[in-house]
Amino acid sequence: VQADGTDGNCVTFVLHDEDHTLGNSLRYMVMKNPDVEFCGYCITHPSESKINFRIQTRGAIPAVEPFRKGLNDLMGVCQHVLNTFEVSLFLKSSR
């Protein structure tokens, strides 16, 4: 959903079957981008499993770019945590 009167700098993404776990983590990753002026999310209703995720950039880039980068960065962090966990399990089982 794109805000009226903008060129893609202010967009609300609707993420289905998601909750605070993804919302807060993704918000943190997106806010690390200096081109992002605002990033926030809300759960529409407790009985619905979707979030509205809003990004507003300073105008240099469209909002979809930090959204994609945030998702990719978050996947990288999750992969690192998983790899570290698996190495730890392997080290403990080989003792």
Q: What is the pLDDT of residue 6?
A: 66
Which amino acid type is present at position 76? G
Report how far residue 66's alpha carbon sits from residue 74's, in angstroms, rounded to the nearest whole number.
12
pLDDT tens track, the chain, 95 positions: 665 666 789 999 999 999 999 999 999 999 999 999 999 999 989 898 899 999 999 989 999 999 999 999 999 999 999 999 999 998 888 77
Q: What is the pLDDT of residue 5?
A: 60
Q: What is the pLDDT of residue 95?
A: 73
In-domain check, residue 89: yes
Q: Which domain holds residue 61?
A: 10-94
Residue 50: Cβ within 10 Å count: 14
Q: At 74, which CATH number?
A: 3.30.1360.10
Residue 40: Cβ within 10 Å count: 14
In-domain check, residue 5: no
In-domain check, residue 24: yes
In-domain check, residue 66: yes
Q: What is the pLDDT of residue 93?
A: 83
Report how far residue 24's alpha carbon sits from residue 10's, in angstroms, rounded to the nearest whole number.
19
Residue 44: Cβ within 10 Å count: 11
In-domain check, residue 29: yes
